[in-house]
Every structure is written in C-alpha cells, then in structure tokens.
Amino acid sequence: MVSILLVLWTFAWCAGTVRGEFPRPRGELRAVDNNPNNWGTITFNVFEHLLSLNHDGDLVPRLATGWQWLDDHTLEVTLRQGVRFHNGEVFDAEIVKFNWEEHMRVGQPFRLGSFMNFKPGSRLQILDAHTVRFLFPEPDGGALVKLSLLHMGNR
C-alpha cells in the first residue's frame, strides 16, 4: 500500500513540471532505424513494391507487370499502368527513379543483410513512362529479390 501511495505521490509531484517547446516539422521527415524488425512491418504495409515473393518463393508482379534480363548486367522492367497513390499522383517511371535514387542515396539500407544492397555503380534508366532499365556493374543473381524490397512511395 505504501509503495502505491509513493508512486501516486511521485506522479502528482511531477505533474506540471514538464515544460518546453516541441519542434515542429519543417518539410520532410527521414526516419532512420537500423533494426528491420521495427520498420519492416510498417513499410511492407504502407509502401508498394515492383514485385514480391509468394508463399512458394516464386516472383510475382506487383507494380511491375513484367521483367526481362537483356544480358548479365541489364534488367528491363515494365511498369503497371493506371496506378495512383493516395494523394492522386500517378505511378510511373519517374516515381521508380525517385525511389531508386533515395534507396541508393542511403548507401546500405539493409545493414543487417548487406548482401541485399545493390552494388555501388548500379543505375536506373528511364526508357519511357512505363519502362525502366536497371544497369548493374556486375552480374547480380539476387537483383529481382532485392527489387522486391525496394519500396515505392509518392514524392
């Protein structure tokens, strides 16, 4: 009983002593968290992806409708048409480029599994509004699985 009263007295004594201003957001927000258990659950429910793996481990289309290896270093991806984000922005090759550049800017977004990161020098070319080409500096057998982890969001 005494411990409960002590806790209640402490809360009552502290009430009103927390003061200060909380900063207001000024434009964009960039959250960084090295623990994929924290952000993985959220991002896979908020962002869409070009493709994903089904329960059998097969690659299935999402925002991409198809993909083809042109050679060991070049992957061409066709994008789904008629997709809009929650803010009305149209999904197209420019959005893929925007998300790719942000992903590459981070450098190694997958810190615990660095094998899931694209190699430096990997690039993206826009061929038209619904086709992009990924160019890798060396053959990358995991590129399609890596693309299944590349989050697509609006600008």
Please, what are the domains in the chain?
Answer: 37-152 (3.40.190.10)
Cα gap 132→135, rounded to integer Å: 10
Q: How far is CA 66 from the centre of its chain?
A: 20
Strand 131-135 relative to strand 123-128: parallel, antiparallel, unpaired? antiparallel
Average pLDDT over residues 12-33: 58
pLDDT at 92: 98
Structural element, H or E, at residue 60:
strand 59-61
Name the percent of the chain lying above pLDDT 90.
50
**Does the pLDDT at position 150 exceed 90?**
no
Q: For the residues 26-47, what does the mean pLDDT come to?
A: 65
Task: State the Cα–Cα distance between residues 118 and 103, nearest whole angstrom.
Answer: 9
Position with higher pLDDT, 39 vs 86: 86
State pTM to two decimals: 0.72
